[in-house]
Amino acid sequence: MNLTAWIVLAAAVVVAFVVGYLVGVARTRSTFNQLQGPEQGAVETTSAEGSSETASRPQRRAAIIYNPTKNEMDTLKSVATTVCRNEGWDEPLFIETTKDDPGTSMAHEAREKGAEVVIAAGGDGTVRAIAEALADTDVPMGIIPMGTGNLLARNLSIPLNRFEWAMRVALWGQDRVIDAARLRTSPDGEDTLFTVMAGIGYDATVMSNTSEDAKSRMGWWAYVRQGSRQLLGKPTEVRIQFDDGEEETRKIRSILGGNCGKVQGGIELIPGAVIDDGHLDVLTVTPRNVAEWVSVVTSIAGRSRKGMHADVTKCAAVKVRAEKELDVQVDGDVLGETDYLELSVLPNALTVRTPSPEQERHIRLDSLSLGMARRD
């Protein structure tokens, strides 16, 4: 294989790998496999905030909304119940999602039953559904990450690998008010709320064309394979308008609007995106061949907002009108095809429980000691 062929292959794998991370829907469970065992199920009997303090606190109640198909639910229920008991809270209210409703009506139910915090136990789709019910309310959302992407949790430094710490953060963490965003696929269409990213074009097409069978057999490598196959697709002409500015005509492969920018591996897919700045950061990708895809990857790796064949624009809203229908995705879920996409920020829309500085210190120390124990 000559040098050019190696460059083409490497670029295809790198770009498709990034897309696979972006969509956050690979079904691999390697992370959770590492979590199982005595470390995951064991819950300390003393509170991270101090057991003497929690003993005198009045009892409160948390609601945990979860997908019953998750294999880790027995462990989670045991850990969550123990943590609540040790922290002086009532036993948590567990509410199952359904196939038709990934959590929105369940979050309304939790509020009606007086839950002080509503906890999303799942991936980004579950988080998005619950956030839709809690937006513009005074009820905070906790997160116990149980997906593969877990992108909102990553961007808010919520522990990914310890149920008990995620639960403690949900109970006693620091409330952070963040932005959300809405999506429309027609000028008069219904709003769809999202918390992380929404996109039209290449990223959504890779997701749409990756079969369930391939995902079950190959995990996220199925997206790598599919992304490589579609790397050399034809750009689409679109008219794009940022805020109230003039429409611009561009030929794009993908447009991605981000409320935050970090994906797996600590990659800043959208450099400079801030989750509470009252703006969206819109990544426009315009490569025509493999060499230009390499430039896109280089720009992302270099955390550049203005690079060759990729740039990021900060705005409150963006409208996209395409010459043909393209696939669209929101927080990793494919919505179908559209020739119209409208994204807009919802400033200060959602309150999320995040680690306090003291909890972050305890989590770092705990992770360090756990890592040393595993090496031994």
pLDDT digits (tens, 9 = 90+) for 288-323: 877 777 777 776 666 666 665 688 999 999 999 999
**pLDDT score of 228:** 78
Which range is most confident: 47-61, 284-298, 327-341?
327-341
**pLDDT score of 90:** 97
**pLDDT score of 370:** 67
pLDDT-based confidence at residue 262 (cuts at 50, 70, 90): confident
* CA separation for the pair 137, 104 (Å, rounded): 14
213 and 168 in a single domain? The answer is: no
Residue 5 has pLDDT above 50, yes or no: no
* CA separation for the pair 313, 230 (Å, rounded): 26
Choose among 178, 180, 155, 158: nearest CA to 167.
158
Mean pLDDT, to the nearest integer, of 255-277? 88
Name the more confident of 248 and 287. Answer: 248
Spatial contact of 194 and 347, defined as CB atoms under 8 Å apart: no
The position carrying tokens 């120390």 is 365
* CA separation for the pair 96, 102 (Å, rounded): 9
169 and 193 in a single domain? The answer is: no
**pLDDT score of 10:** 43
Residue 214 has pLDDT above 90, yes or no: no
Residue 15 has pLDDT above 50, yes or no: no
**135 three-class SS:** coil
Spatial contact of 177 and 348, defined as CB atoms under 8 Å apart: yes
- Other beta carbons within 10 angstroms of residue 169's beta carbon come to 29
**pLDDT score of 225:** 80
Residue 279 lies in a domain: yes
Residue 255 lies in a domain: yes
34 and 169 in a single domain? The answer is: yes
188 and 70 in a single domain? The answer is: no
Least confident of 94-98, 219-223, 256-260: 219-223
Spatial contact of 74 and 116, defined as CB atoms under 8 Å apart: no
**pLDDT score of 307:** 65
Least confident of 28-42, 103-117, 128-142, 361-375: 28-42
200 and 260 in a single domain? The answer is: yes
220 and 306 in a single domain? The answer is: yes
Which residue range is the domain that position 299 belongs to?
Answer: 181-348
How many domains does the chain fold into?
2
DSSP per residue over 45-71, as a string? SS-TT-HHHHTTSPP--EEEEE-TT-T
* CA separation for the pair 66, 144 (Å, rounded): 9
Pairing of strands 141-145, 117-122: parallel
Least confident of 170-174, 288-292, 362-366: 288-292
Q: What percent of the chain has pLDDT over 90?
A: 56
* CA separation for the pair 12, 224 (Å, rounded): 8
CATH number of the domain where residue 262 is located: 2.60.200.40
Mean pLDDT, to the nearest integer, of 186-197? 95
262 and 335 in a single domain? The answer is: yes
68 and 202 in a single domain? The answer is: no
Residue 145 has pLDDT above 70, yes or no: yes
Name the more confident of 275 and 287. Answer: 275
334 and 361 in a single domain? The answer is: no
pLDDT-based confidence at residue 170 (cuts at 50, 70, 90): very high
Which residues, listed in sequence order, are joined to residue 352 by a DSSP beta bridge? Answer: 141, 176
Residue 38 has pLDDT above 80, yes or no: no
CATH number of the domain where residue 144 is located: 3.40.50.10330
Cα–Cα separations (whole angstroms), residue 95 to 64, 120, 121, 132, 223: 6, 10, 10, 17, 32
105 and 52 in a single domain? The answer is: yes
Mean pLDDT, to the nearest integer, of 131-153? 94
**pLDDT score of 233:** 81
